[in-house]
Amino acid sequence: MASSVGSRPLVLVRSFLYFVVWVFSLVIFAVIAAKLYRSVFGIKVCLLNNPETSTSFCQWGIAAGVIGFVAYLLLDIAVLVSLFASSLANGLKYVELIMNAFFIAWYVAFAVVMSIGVSRFKSLTNGGSSSYVNTPAALSWISFVFIVVAEILVAIDFGKPVSMEDDTEPQTESASA
């Protein structure tokens, strides 16, 4: 196998975290596209903005959801394939470190922006809110935490050597008489 017995659970946990971030990215995109970004008389309106401002909250939310969806789908597939292909294991760890570092910054910025959008929406509706307004902000914060945990797990797994299948077999010495 490509990964040592000790790191296989770490790889599976990272794969699970990537899958959850992938699902959350899909939900963020779907909620924003279906509920928050509407067309009123042919004009695009984002419910998180003031009527005088642009629709950038919703546009960035859709971009964050789509980019996270595609990136973590591909990363999760690559991580699962690396369990069986030893040539991918070491190089993939570098990709994971770089990609997770980017998405840590991406999701924390997105979470802050969405939280501002939620507070702006609450001020426009006199304190009222609904689940589809809170969902993208909450899922972006959770995705941020999961990506940080995955980054820590990659860093822990990074120092471990990758072993080949024949390294796990016991070594026998031939006795000469």
118-129 pLDDT per residue, tens: 777 666 666 666
Residue 100 domain flag: yes
The answer to whether residue 133 scores a pLDDT higher than 70 is yes
Report whether 122 contacts 128 (CB < 8 A).
yes
Q: What is the pLDDT of residue 22?
A: 93
Beta-carbon-side half-sphere exposure of residue 142 (alpha carbons within 13 Å):
17
Higher-scoring residue by pLDDT: 162, 137: 137
Q: What is the pLDDT of residue 1?
A: 44
Longest dimension (CA), the chain: 94
Write the pLDDT tens digit of every residue in 38-60: 666 766 677 666 655 556 777 87
Residue 131 domain flag: yes
Gap between the Cα atoms of 86 and 4, Å rounded: 10
| Structural domains counted in the chain | 1
Residue 133 domain flag: yes
Residue 1 domain flag: no
Q: What is the pLDDT of residue 134?
A: 80
Q: What is the pLDDT of residue 52?
A: 54
Q: What is the pLDDT of residue 69?
A: 92
Residue 34 domain flag: yes
Nearest residue to 99 (alpha-carbon basis) of 79, 115, 82, 84: 79
pTM score over 0.85 = no
Residue 171 domain flag: no
The pLDDT confidence band at residue 93, using thresholds 50, 70 and 90, is confident
Residue 71 domain flag: yes
Percent of the chain beyond pLDDT 90?
25
Reduce the DSSP state of residue 45 to 3 states and report it.
strand
Q: Domain of residue 107: give its range.
A: 8-159
The pLDDT confidence band at residue 11, using thresholds 50, 70 and 90, is confident
Residue 17 domain flag: yes
Rounded to the nearest 10°, the torsion over CA 45, 47, 51, 52 is -80
The answer to whether residue 168 scores a pLDDT higher than 50 is no
The answer to whether residue 141 scores a pLDDT higher than 80 is yes
Nearest residue to 72 (alpha-carbon basis) of 109, 31, 34, 24: 24
The answer to whether residue 146 scores a pLDDT higher than 80 is yes
* Lowest pLDDT segment from 9-18, 73-82, 87-96, 162-171: 162-171
